């Protein structure tokens, strides 16, 4: 086993255990065992547990890929629906990690911010897209792109985080939910609805 393999195995194991039980629960013993290496080896690669967790989150953020919105908006209804589906899938896959990171905000604010920085980028991109589409006359003229972005992302976020703790609140499927949310959202921002009665 090459040194870089050990390092990678440790980062992967750390991310998994961190998502499952937080930084207190992800003990060096458990991480080493999950990675299949000796605990001493862990400390030869990372001086402290804190360093290891930081590196694991860093590596995770760096390798994260997300679907980008088109630079030039042409069909908000289609483009936003497709984007929302992808973003929700992304959030749902990472729900444990996100919940754990946010849950540790009080104790480790920097660590939490580190994990959340991707969503800030995505939020900015969505805001920019909405502003562009509005400027091009594809949407209503009188809405605030930042708030609309917060609304769509917040809705998807809450759905992805809340589905397993509160299934009663989400009786419809993820797929149906996104369609329903998008229907409402598109009407809110004045996009061309499928059955337009008004504009």
Partner DNA sequence: CAAGTTAGCAAGTAGCTACTTGCTTACAAG
Partner DNA sequence: CTTGTAAGCAAGTAGCTACTTGCTAACTTG
Instruction: Give the interface with DNA as residue ranges (CB under 7 A).
Output: 1-3, 6, 26-30, 36-41, 43-45, 47-50
Give kind and range of the element (H or E) at residue 56: helix 49-63
Shortest Å distance, C-beta 44 to DNA:
5
The least CB distance from residue 23 to DNA, in Å, is 8
Number of alpha carbons in the 13 Å side-chain half-sphere of residue 33:
6
For DNA, give the closer residue by CB, 34 or 82.
34
Distance of CA 162 to the CA centre of its chain: 14
168 is a contact residue toward a copy of itself (CB under 8 A): yes
Quote the least distance from Cβ 44 to a copy of itself, whole Å.
Answer: 27
Query: What per-residue string of b and e applies to 87-120 under the rule 16 or more CB within 10 Å gives b?
Result: bbebbbebbebbbbbeebeeebeebbebbeebbe
Q: Which residues bind a copy of itself (CB under 8 A)?
A: 19-22, 24-25, 96, 99-107, 109, 112-113, 116, 119-120, 123, 143-144, 146-148, 150-151, 153-159, 161-162, 164-166, 168-172, 177, 180-181, 183-185, 187-190, 198-199
């Amino acid at each position: 086993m090459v040194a870089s393999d050990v390092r990678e195995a440790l980062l992967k194991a750390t991310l998994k255990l961190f998502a499952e039980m937080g930084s207190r629960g992800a003990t060096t013993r458990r991480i080493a065992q999950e990675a299949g290496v000796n605990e001493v080896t862990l400390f030869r690669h990372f001086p402290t547990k804190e360093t290891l967790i930081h590196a694991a989150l860093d590596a995770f953020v760096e390798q994260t890929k997300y679907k980008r919105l088109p630079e030039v908006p042409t069909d908000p209804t289609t483009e936003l629906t497709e984007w929302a589906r992808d973003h929700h899938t992304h959030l749902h896959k990472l729900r444990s990690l996100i919940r754990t990171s946010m849950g540790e905000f009080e104790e480790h604010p920097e660590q939490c911010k580190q994990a959340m920085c991707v969503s800030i980028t995505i939020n900015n991109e969505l805001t920019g897209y909405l502003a562009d589409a509005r400027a091009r006359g594809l949407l209503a003229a009188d809405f605030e792109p930042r708030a609309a972005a917060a609304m769509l992302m917040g809705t998807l976020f809450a759905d992805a985080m809340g589905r397993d703790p509160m299934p009663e609140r989400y009786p419809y499927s993820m797929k149906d939910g996104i369609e329903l949310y998008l229907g409402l959202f598109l009407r809110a921002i004045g996009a061309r609805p499928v059955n337009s009665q008004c504009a």
